[in-house]
Amino acid sequence: MRSSRFLKPSLQKKLVFVFSLTTVIVLIVNIFMYTNINKLITRLDSIYQSHLSLNELEEALDSVQNSMMNYLSTKTTDVMEDYYRSEQTYTNLISLLREDITDDSLMLMERNIKKISENYLDLTNQAIEAKRGRNIVKYKARSDNATELYHYLSTYIYSLSSEQFKNNSMNYSALSSSIRSLEMVSNILLIGVALGNLILIILLTQTITLPLKKLAKTANQVADGNFLVKLVEVKSEDEVGVVTRAFDKMVVNLRDYIQKLTDSMETERKLKERELKMETHLKDAQLKYLLAQINPHFLFNTLNAGAQLAMIEGADRTCQYVQNVAEFFRYNLKENNEVVSIADEVTLVDNYIYILNVRFSGEICFEKNIDSSVTETKIPSMILQPIVENSVNYGIRDVEWEKRITLSVYRANGRIHMSIKDNGVGMPQAQIDRILSNQPREAALSRDNNGIGLNNVIGRVRLFFGKDDIISIISAGKNLGTEVIISVPERPVLKNSSTGGESDV
């Protein structure tokens, strides 16, 4: 796919590609232009080279003519040497001239100059020879002829050089106009390449800066605490792409980490809440108890004093009664009594029933079916007595028939069941549901109860065991009695380590 081709390579490759492309283009063009200009100049050189310096030729000719004339008039050896030297020079020069017959008039001129020059040199040599031989007539005639040819030659050379100049001017104007247009071409080329390059660089920098800008924007959002930003899309495989990918990974990991943190905080918060609730409930119970039993130590000590007095006076029944009352009140004075054994609870119920029976002349028939193998099982304190109190107050208080309460503790289905059953007025299902759903009961504190309501008990048991199906209430119908069953695991798993620790005491 084309699109990825440009995005895939690294920044370095991209940059190298763009710059080398431009450089190569400019290089190729330059090489091309220089090669061509070189060719042009070589061609030009070859044209000019063929035209030897006519000035030189003319000077040599003049010098031949002058030295000949000088020699003829002075006959000195120096001049003769001059003559031979210049004659040699001139001979050399004319040997360079072309003598082909062509349809090029300039070349024909060269040929004619060469031919005439050869004849001219012939004549001058003859004139010199004649002069040396003192053949006056001959050297005069030859020098005249030579001079005539000299004039023709001058004219010829002049006309050739003029023609060449004309040609060269034409060449020059052609060359200069072509150089001007070449300049224009190279300008257009440079501008074009510069434009293309500019576009490429803009595009290239865009592919670098745009993702960076996006990245920076997203990073700023993250910095402002927004971890739910949309991840930056990675289009390129270059260094920017690598950075972007790393950033995305970081954001995702941050998100995960924060989620985990939130979850664990939530769990801890729940645990704390449960502990707090437990404590609150217990404190609530204790407070209510204390409210009811102002200064129980004082009361307990007072009751003990009364028991001793009764024993001294020999009133055994009074003594036992007062002792039972004292035991009952002492239960709540125990330190660290949040978790107790079933046996303790059963004893508290025994005390309570004894007090009630003394109060109400033994009208409550209390039955116990206790499996002694499970009585050491730990349960929260103040559980059984409030339920029994509830049965007395709401179940059997006003019934006409024999009032009966049965407390059973037994093992069944791997659980330990504690059942408090009365034969009182019973409970409609709606009320049962309401109680089990732990709705606060209006007028919770009735005039006569010990102050700890059923829902307090339910709440604490549920919190303690961390389950809702700990307690159940069964009533067969009106006047058919009520049974409250607490089923606890044989080995209660203590969720709260602090309570667990205390349970061992």
- The residues of the shown chain that bind other proteins, judged by CB under 8 A, are 2-7, 21-22, 25, 28-29, 32-33, 36-37, 39-40, 43-44, 47, 100-105, 107-108, 111-112, 115-116, 119-120, 148-149, 152, 155-156, 158-159, 162, 170-171, 174-175, 177-178, 181-182, 185-186, 188-189, 192-193, 195-197, 199-200, 203-204, 206-207, 210, 235-236
136 vs 195 by CB, closer to other proteins? 195
Return the closest-CA partner of residue 300 out of 335, 319, 334, 328: 328
Tokens of 213: 């800008």
Spell 39-74 as b/e; 16+ CB within 10 A means b.
Answer: eeeeeeeeeeeebeebeebbebbebbbebbbbbbee
- Least CB distance to other proteins at residue 465 (A): 59
**Smallest distance, other proteins to C-beta of residue 121, A:** 11
Taking the alpha carbons of 480, 362, 387, 288 in that order, is the dihedral positive or negative? positive
CA 83 to each of CA 76, 86, 87, 90, 496: distance values in angstroms, whole numbers, following the listed order: 11, 5, 6, 10, 138
Nearer to other proteins, 68 or 342 (CB): 68
The nearer residue to other proteins, 190 or 305, going by C-beta atoms, is 190
Q: How far is the CB of 69 from other proteins (least distance, A)?
A: 19
- Number of residues in the chain: 505
Q: 3-state SS of 269-308?
A: HHHHHHHHHHHHHHHHHHHHHHHHCCCHHHHHHHHHHHHH
Residue closer to other proteins (CB basis): 7 or 470: 7
CB of 103 to other proteins, least distance (A): 5
Nearer to other proteins, 11 or 44 (CB): 44
With residue 230 as reference, give the H or E element that holds it: none
Pair of tokens at residue 269: 């918060």
- Least Å distance, CB 263 to other proteins, is 37
Cβ at position 81, least distance to other proteins in Å: 27
In terms of Cβ atoms closer than 10 Å to its own Cβ (0-12, 13-18, 19+), residue 297 is exposed
CB nearer to other proteins: pick between 40 and 343: 40
364-370 and 378-380: which strand pairing? Answer: unpaired
- Give CA–CA dist 491/377, Å, rounded: 7
Q: Report in angstroms how near the CB of residue 17 gets to other proteins at its nearest.
A: 10
Spacing of C-alpha 98 from chain mean position: 84
- 365 DSSP β-pair partners: 404
The DSSP letter of residue 440 is P
DSSP state of 408: E
Q: How far is the CB of 264 from other proteins (least distance, A)?
A: 40
From the CB of 104, what's the least distance to other proteins, in Å?
A: 3
Asked whether 409 and 418 are in contact (CB, 8 A), the reply is: yes
Closer residue to other proteins in complex, CB, 206/280: 206
CB of 67 to other proteins, least distance (A): 21
Closer residue to other proteins, CB minimum distance, 204 or 355: 204
Nearer to other proteins, 193 or 358 (CB): 193
Comparison of 106 and 343: residue with beta carbon closer to other proteins: 106
* Smallest gap from residue 251 Cβ to other proteins (A): 22
Contact 471, 462 (CB under 8 A): yes
Other Cβ atoms within 10 Å of 253 Cβ, number:
10
CA geometry: angle 71, 74, 77, nearest 5 deg: 65
Closer residue to other proteins in complex, CB, 119/393: 119
